[in-house]
Amino acid sequence: MTATVITPTAEKTPDTQHLRLYSLYRLGASGMLFGSQLWPYFRNAPSEPSFSFWLLLIFFLYAIAVSVSFESLQSKRGMALKIQTSLDIVFLAVMMHFLPGNQSGIGLLLIINIIFAGLISDGRFALFYASIATIGILLENTFQIIHRNLPINEYSNSVLLSLSCFATAWLAQTLTARMQSSEILATQRGQDIEHLAKTNALITQEMPNGVLVIDQYRNLKHYNQQACNLLGLEETTLQAAVQLHTPLVQLMPAVMQLLASSPANNPSVADAVKLSINNRDLGIRFHAISENIENGVVIFIEDWSQIQTQAHQVKLAALGRLTANIAHEIRNPLSAISHATQLLQEDALEPGSERMLQIISDNVQRLDQIIKDVLELNRRDRTNQDQFNINTFVQEFYQQFCAVEKIDLANFTLDLPTKQISIVFDRRHINQILWNLCKNGWRHSQQQAQSLQLKVVVDKTGQFIHLMVKDDGSGLDPKIQPHLFEPFMTTEKTGTGLGLFIARELAEANGAKLNYISSPNGTQFSLTVKKAIV
């Protein structure tokens, strides 16, 4: 993740809090100075107000106007703020002349002005304001020395005050620069943390496992959507639990009981523990957030059935490779047995011997068919897809199937759409799928007029095509339906149990789906294929 770098620019708005404090300071300082001139006027007999009185009144009214129109006047980019600050310094320097008894106090006000000026200008104009103050201080002191014939050593106080202004400006500039660096670093770290939190949330939501995070008080702090699905809880329920700091024991007492039984100081429990929740087997794993599990725990929830399915697929893949190798080794001696049987059948033998040879020949053919199915199963991922017209293909398949299986056309009906439709599929694979489905349908049907139907239907969206094979048999036994597509699952004495399994594997290899609907009036298998874009 790349952190966003924030560069301070002149476009940045000034710190509103500093500006408000500066406005309040200006108002307070002008009010105190004006009050110092107004109080003697009320105590003594009324007299003509002095020039300094009117200056302080103007400054006080100016401070009130700036405070009232704060939002519109405070702009760092324009000259308004710089002019205001400069006027404040110039006015205080002028007042040092008209209030000669208060030079030291007004000088302190100049230093405070420079501090605020440095803060609100990010330290860039602090030395400039200190220069204005120094010029004003020195000019006022020079005027006093010339007109009052004061000794030259009177400059000492003015020089010290000027040096204090520059020192304050430099200090304000340095502290402001450091403060800006700290703010930029804090902003960058905040954005990094925010991006990291979003990344973690995205990763957590996309995880195949459920995730729950609880704190040291066993309150729910975080969860993902998969946890809701696996635990059978509504997302609003877990959302409310996070907001209300609901203890996890109220939502999932079984999980918390399992956590309570784990070692107190074990930072992680690597092996998943099987737990049944809502008739679903789940694997629960605990990982401590820190060294001690009491400081917070991350709970990983796995779908146990999915794990078993993956393990089953791995076993099937290994079994497929093994059986393919065995099939190749069996095929050679089997061919020799078949050839020898054919030679013996050509000689004139007793009726009993002919029967025995026929049994051998039938079983050799059955073994050869099993070997072909096993080899086809091992080659299910090798597809050679091309685009073809489904109406033409199904018509040719229908005629070939009826001829080979010796089925009357009246017993096997065909229904095709009037519109020509194309699909992308491996011809050899779809031929084998339909052959297995139709052969199973005919075997379990009543084998009379219209007992078997092959129908091609386009769905309402026009994107998918359904090839449906329906029989009029007694339907599938509910006990075998969960195992219908498992390998070597058959109810026939002479069946291999690989037909439907291979049909589903070939369908999935071509991006299609094989489903079924069974009832006491018959069974319907449906092969759903995506329509080709012409």
Best CA proximity match to 177, nearest among 218, 141, 124, 219: 124
One domain for residues 287 and 424: no
The CATH number covering residue 481 comes to 3.30.565.10
- Write the pLDDT tens digit of every residue in 298-318: 888 887 766 666 665 676 667
Which range is least confidently modeled, 88-102, 265-279, 297-311, 413-427? 265-279
Sheet of 210-215, strand order: 220-223, 210-215, 296-303, 280-288, 268-277
The whole-model pTM stands at 0.42
One domain for residues 266 and 351: no
pLDDT class for 12, splitting at 50, 70, 90? Answer: very low
- Per-residue confidence (pLDDT) for residue 525, from 0 to 100: 92
Q: Please state, in angstroms and as integers, the Cα–Cα distance from residue 349 to each residue in 267, 340, 344, 356, 360, following that order.
A: 80, 14, 8, 11, 15
Residue 153: phi and psi, rounded to 5, are -70, -5
- Per-residue confidence (pLDDT) for residue 277, from 0 to 100: 74
pLDDT at 71 over 70: no
Q: H or E stretch including 51?
A: helix 51-68
- Residue 230 tokens read as 């696996």
- Would residue 9 count as lying in a domain? no
pLDDT class for 339, splitting at 50, 70, 90? Answer: confident
- Would residue 11 count as lying in a domain? no
One domain for residues 256 and 167: no
> Looking at 303, 335, 353, which one is the last position of a domain?
303
- Per-residue confidence (pLDDT) for residue 452, from 0 to 100: 92
- Write the pLDDT tens digit of every residue in 314-332: 766 676 677 667 777 777 7
523 DSSP β-pair partners: 518
pLDDT at 500 over 80: yes
What is the average pLDDT value for the chain, to the nearest integer?
76
pLDDT at 374 over 50: yes
pLDDT class for 112, splitting at 50, 70, 90? Answer: confident
86 within 8 A of 132, measured Cβ to Cβ? yes
- Would residue 2 count as lying in a domain? no
Top mean pLDDT of 1-5, 103-107, 334-338 is at: 334-338
One domain for residues 455 and 422: yes
Q: H or E stretch including 29?
A: helix 16-43
Task: For residues 177-204, give the mean pLDDT.
Answer: 82
> Looking at 363, 378, 393, which one is the last position of a domain?
378
Q: H or E stretch including 389?
A: strand 385-389
Best CA proximity match to 132, nearest among 103, 156, 162: 162
Percent above pLDDT 70 for the chain? 75
One domain for residues 27 and 142: yes
Q: Tell me how many domains the chain contains.
A: 4
One domain for residues 403 and 487: yes
The CATH number covering residue 225 comes to 3.30.450.20
- Per-residue confidence (pLDDT) for residue 7, from 0 to 100: 41
One domain for residues 150 and 64: yes
Q: 361 is in which domain, residue-wise? A: 309-378
- Per-residue confidence (pLDDT) for residue 470, from 0 to 100: 92
